[in-house]
Amino acid sequence: MGFRRRFVLGLLWRVALLVATAFLFIASLNAQGLGAARILAALIFAGAVAGLWRYIQRTNVELARFVDAVRFGDLQQSFSYRHEGSGFGEFGEALEQGIQRLRDERQRLSDDSRFYEAVLDDAPTPLLTVDGEGRVELANKAARRLLVRHTGVRIEDFAIYGAAFTRSLTEIAVGRPRLVPITIDAAPQTAMISAAVVHRLGSQVRVVAVQPIQGELNAVEIAAQSDLIRVLTHEIMNSMTPVTSLAHSAATLMAEVDQDGNPLVGDARAAVETLARRADGVMHFVESYRQISRTPEVRRRVFAVLPWAQELEKLFEASDAAAGVALEIQVGGDDLTIDADPDLLCQVLINLMRNAAEAAAAHAEAPAVRMIFAATRGGRTRIEVADNGPGVPESVRHDVFLPFFTTKAKGTGVGLSLARQVVLAHRGSIDLVAAEEGGALFRIVI
């Protein structure tokens, strides 16, 4: 209101001035001998017209400048410096407040945008976007750390992670998560994949979340196996303890009465002693499985692989399984490190090398074992133990890690199950495939 009142007052006195100068100019035209007065009156009249025009146009000019600043995003324009009276000071302040509000709104939107970008980029769940043309982008750091093996942005470029994963990028239904196999660091895993659809620049974009859950599945499986083994061994030992004690007592008594060479007594004594030995064997067998019902305690630390691998070589060469078996160890760089429990991992690898040596010695003319340490593109460490033995049939490759399962005549089925427990306790993976030499290849990723 103040601007309007001052603007009207300024307009009125400028109009009055224009009218007055017009009368003066007309009067000077009718008077004789006032040439200089006519010129002066004409100049005053022209000035009054120019002042009135400039006064009227001033609002339009400032408004046009304000609109152009908004339209072109130039919010650094200033309007507060124009204090020329007649309400233009208030008018300039109003425009300045408007432009300042736009600046604040732009800053707020920019801050919100940076915040949501940071939330998206630092989200722990890997996220991918797939546009209408099939272009796939890794939307955050977690996705860039997880998916490091592909080189393109097309859907088919992601086939290196598995055909099922590639199909899920476009086929999985929105709001219906699905368990999908995926190959990460050359190791098969399971991931929970879900999808959503968002609008971006007038088009729809699929957002795909990839959550590897193999570690959780392995933990549940190991816990279930441990609980089952704990219950079974407890019940078996409770039942076998009195049987073993009675068998040994009976064997002692039979030995005392078997003095006269009675063949019937001798046969009974042999039967009872056999029963006692078998009872001891069952107790030993059950006791050996009690150790896999306890989750190993992992004490991780980062250490150099090369000197540690050289110690493994010495330990292997000192074992009886190393006789006549050539061992080759390859370490991918003198500066290669691994984050693991060196003692637990040493037990795993010694066991794998012994198994490999035994398999190779019983099959090949020149038995050989090869162990490789290398860094993966995902920042982890890959360990491979291979031999040139007979290999493991594909039909039972996934069974060799189960408790009680063994392919050896005198095996207990404990070694590989314990190895898997140790690797899974490191949040790693262990897999069995065919080696180039024709034997078995155990691949560990930690």
pLDDT at 28 over 90: no
The residue type of 35 is: G
| CATH (one of 3.40.50.800, 2.40.420.20, 3.40.50.10860, 3.30.450.20) for 124-212 | 3.30.450.20
37 Cβ partners below 8 Å, 6+ apart? 28, 31
Q: Do 82 and 71 form a contact (C-beta atoms < 8 A)?
A: no
Mean pLDDT score of the chain, rounded to an integer? 81
Number of H helices, E strands in the chain: 10, 12
| Strand partners for 440 | 434
Angle between helices 415-425 and 342-361 in degrees, nearest 10: 150
Least reliable range by pLDDT among 133-142, 145-154, 164-173, 248-257: 248-257
Distances (CA, A) of 40 to 14, 50, 442: 18, 15, 108
Q: Do 184 and 212 form a contact (C-beta atoms < 8 A)?
A: yes
d(CA 110, CA 221): 47
Task: Quote the distance between the C-alpha of residue 390 and its chain's center.
Answer: 38
Tell me the two tokens of residue 390: 């007979």
Please state, for a pLDDT cut of 70, what percent of the chain lies above it: 82
pLDDT of residue 86: 46
| Strand partners for 328 | 370
pLDDT of residue 11: 66
Local confidence band at 411 (pLDDT 50, 70, 90 cut-offs): low
Local confidence band at 285 (pLDDT 50, 70, 90 cut-offs): low
Please state, for a pLDDT cut of 90, what percent of the chain lies above it: 25
pLDDT of residue 205: 92
Query: Is CATH 3.40.50.300 the classification given to domain 301-445?
Result: no
Local confidence band at 5 (pLDDT 50, 70, 90 cut-offs): low
Neighbours of 83 (CB within 10 A): 10
Tell which phi-psi region holds residue 73, choosing left (phi > 0), alpha (psi between -120 and 50) or beta.
left
